[in-house]
Amino acid sequence: MTVRIACVQPEVFQENNKCYLQIEDIIKDIFSKHNSCDIICLPERWVPLAREKKENVQKERGKNYQFIKELAKNYSVSIISGAIWEKRESSSKPRITSYFFDNFGEEVGRQDKIHLYSYERKNFEPGEDLQLFSFKNMCFAILICFDMAFLETPRLAAENGADILFSPTQIRSEGIENWEVYLKARVLENRIPVVACNTFGRILERIFPGHSKIISFVEDFISPSKLRIVEGPIDSSGFIFDEVDLTFPKKLRKLRFREIIEKSAINVRKIDF
């Protein structure tokens, strides 16, 4: 099975409407160059960040949600919304969440960010559940940025049937090298493709270079496996597109998971000297 995937990497401007217009322009560009696309993924942050924190939090299913919902409907394409900061009546603090819309613009579900990063721990409520989304005979999970830095969340997704992992991210220039290591490690240790869509632009004093990635496998390379990496533009807006095979990685996963030794079966001994 092959899935056609695009990462939209727009520049973060100072006005929301300008951000909206560029995202739509990039989607038009995708369809002008490719006959079809199954899923489009947005980066974690694609709208500006105000210094006053409360100005950045929208009501549940607010303006950003409605914009992405309409895009999915108007262009008949499934979209992962990136991350939206929203306040819910059921939560004591806002949530960072990513919505998945089908190609009719209907909300299929949402994934809250589980591992909160740095300042986020003070201002947001973490997610408790890892959602698995079924779509066109495949299964995927959405791991928002820092969720990819821990081995547990990608492994749980892969062990429970995920065929591919989507990761809307917000990685600034100083963290790009570490981020690339994390992505390759998660792909290799779970034998699962990863789609990581990164923010591009300046947000307050921080620079985000984009360089989104779709990482999958070159077919027939089993031991060692060989990565296929499609990379987005650095320091500019744009998109990347790839047709990702999901059948061969499933074979690799079965082989790899047979080789796992449970931690409980390994004795840890400390040697004093």
In a domain, 261, yes or no: yes
Please report whether residue 272 resides in a domain: no
Q: What contacts 25, CB < 8 A, 6 or more positions away? A: none
Whole-number pLDDT of residue 119: 86
Return the half-sphere exposure (C-beta side, CA atoms, 13 A cut-off) of residue 211: 14
Q: Is residue 273 part of a domain?
A: no
Cβ neighbours of residue 147 under 8 Å, at least 6 residues apart? 113, 114, 115, 153, 167
DSSP code of 148? G
d(CA 261, CA 247): 25
Q: List the chain pLDDT tens, one digit each, 273 residues.
A: 899 999 999 999 999 999 999 999 999 999 999 999 999 999 999 999 988 878 899 999 999 999 999 999 999 999 999 999 999 988 889 999 999 999 999 999 999 999 999 889 999 999 999 999 998 889 999 999 999 999 999 999 999 999 999 999 999 999 999 999 999 999 999 999 999 999 999 998 899 999 999 999 999 999 999 999 999 999 999 999 999 999 999 999 999 999 999 989 999 999 998
Q: Could you tell me the two tokens for 54?
A: 């409360």
Q: What is the pLDDT of residue 63?
A: 96
3-state secondary structure of 219: strand
Total of domains in the chain: 1
| 72 neighbors 41 (Cβ within 8 angstroms) | no
How much is the pLDDT for 53? 78
Residue 201 lies in a domain: yes
Residue 252 lies inside a defined structural domain of this protein: yes
195 burial via Cβ count (<10 Å: 0-12, 13-18, 19+): buried
46 and 82 in contact (C-beta within 8 Å)? yes
Q: Are strands 225-231 and 238-245 parallel, antiparallel or unpaired?
A: unpaired
Does any domain span residue 271?
Answer: no
- Say if 9 falls within a structural domain: yes
Amino acid at the residue 192: I
Judge whether 71 and 23 are in contact, CB under 8 Å.
yes
Q: Which domain holds residue 106?
A: 2-265
Q: Please give the single-letter amino acid code of residue 84.
A: I
CA pair distance 147, 168, nearest whole angstrom: 10
CATH number, domain containing residue 103? 3.60.110.10
Residue 107 belongs to a domain: yes
- What's the rounded Cα separation, in Å, for the pair 237 and 233? 7
Q: Taking the model in full, what pTM does it have?
A: 0.96
